[in-house]
Amino acid sequence: MDYLTKLISIALLEDSGFGDLTSESIFTEGLKAKGIIVAKESMVIAGLDLASRVFKTIDPYAVVESCFNDGDSVSQGDIVFKVEGEIIGMLKAERVALNFIQHLSGIASLTRTFVQTLGKSSVRLTDTRKTTPGMRGIEKAAVRAGGAYNHRMSLYDGILIKDNHIAVAGGIKNAIKAVRKKASHLMKIEVETTTMAEVKEAVDAGAEVIMLDNMTTEGMKKAVNYINGRAIVEASGNITLERLKKIAATGVDIISSGAITHQARAMDLSMRISPFILPK
């Protein structure tokens, strides 16, 4: 069972694993209907393929149609999704499908706002690991739909030496030395720094990527000038829309933001059921 199948199964089990008392009391099995999902505000849409899988999981014979692609801008009143199938199954899938679309569209929309604020800057905006437990894969897909990039997916696919690693290892130099003994030569080593002293130690120890964590813009400028191309420079911590352009102007290469995933609000969409289609 793949990741998305598990995720959908858990979400459906949570919502209708013991049935749908209301729908099953009102409707008979086999009764069919058409449904549409409508955007109630402008947004960058995301999660449509996931919604399709939700409806098809409940009703394998349902006919589904996404009216847009993830990453498209939609306007208030746009129909973004259509489905035809058994009414009971449709109602069981409705809230789960909407929850996914609303949440992921929120991430994509906020991400797009950050990207547009950066404008033509060459700085790359990325997400972080600050994601909803169990939903990292789809949230990071929503970030890409919004026009930004992904940082490492998990602890296994990137090396990032953080403050606790440094404290226990006895310094940046010791931590990098330990990592180099085991890491592939193909892997870059990133180090989190908060002071100029740590930046200098990271450069001297040969870090390929240096994160400037929660530094002031003036501190970032000084660090970028000191590094002078000897490492990729990433700005992180307290990344807000208001500070975004100023941070980009310091000369950093990457800006990583946890806000685009964990501070995004759910967008407003609703599902409408049309008059029943009686079985032939």
User: What is the residue type of 26?
Assistant: I
Q: Is 162 a catalytic residue?
A: yes
Q: How far apart are alpha carbons 38 and 263 in whole angstroms?
A: 24
Q: Is 213 a catalytic residue?
A: yes
Q: How far apart are alpha carbons 182 and 103 in whole angstroms?
A: 39
Q: Is 152 a catalytic residue?
A: no
The helix or strand, by DSSP H or E, that contains position 36, with its residue range, turns out to be strand 32-39
**CB-based burial label for 178 (10 Å; 0-12, 13-18, 19+):** middle
CB 36 within 8 A of CB 271: yes
Q: Is 95 a catalytic residue?
A: yes
Q: Is 70 a catalytic residue?
A: no
DSSP 224: H
In the block, residue with structure tokens 């449904």: 35
The helix or strand, by DSSP H or E, that contains position 93, with its residue range, turns out to be helix 87-118
CB 44 within 8 A of CB 145: yes
Marked catalytic residue, from 130, 180, 221, 230: 130
Marked catalytic residue, from 34, 53, 82, 95: 95
Marked catalytic residue, from 78, 86, 190, 192: 192
Marked catalytic residue, from 162, 177, 245, 272: 162
Marked catalytic residue, from 94, 127, 190, 213: 213
- Catalytic positions, please? 95, 130, 162, 192, 213
